[in-house]
Amino acid sequence: MKPERRRSPRVRAPEGAEGIIRSTIQVQVEDVSKDGVCFRLSGPVRPGSTYAFHASLEGLDLAAPIRITRCKAISPAMGGGRGLVYEAGAEFAWERPGDEERVVTWLARRGSAGGLRAELEG
């Protein structure tokens, strides 16, 4: 088992949680933490690039910019057998006061369960 590299605990997204990046590319949201989000998509994204992020979390509407921190190809079996799949991680670049605290409160309330629908626009 790999040691945890994240700065804060993550909450797994429910099965089928989806989003959009660049207004046309669908992503499968894997998990979210107070510091960022992890998702899978069909093409690579470049670390360092930024996108607008909007998530309608059950009980929380969040809009914040994200910065891609990593992106790697994963085996088709890990991606659900859909061919080559990429897994990307991004950190939130908080702009509005209070947004991070709202996410922390939501995460504490949700624990490891909860729903997530996200949109990534770039």
pLDDT by residue (tens digit) across 23-63? 677 788 888 898 998 989 889 999 999 988 776 667 677 77
* pLDDT score, position 116: 52
DSSP code, position 72: E
Compute the distance between CA of residue 72 and CA of residue 39 in angstroms, rounded to an integer. Answer: 11
Instruction: Provide the token pair at 118.
Output: 């996200």
Domain boundaries, the chain: 19-121
The one-letter code for the residue type at 95 is: E
* pLDDT score, position 32: 85
Report the 10 Å Cβ neighbour count for 37.
Answer: 26
* pLDDT score, position 11: 81
* pLDDT score, position 87: 95
pTM: 0.78
More confident residue, 111 or 93: 93
Fold of the domain spanning 19-121: Thrombin, subunit H (2.40.10)
Alpha helices in the chain (DSSP H): 99-110
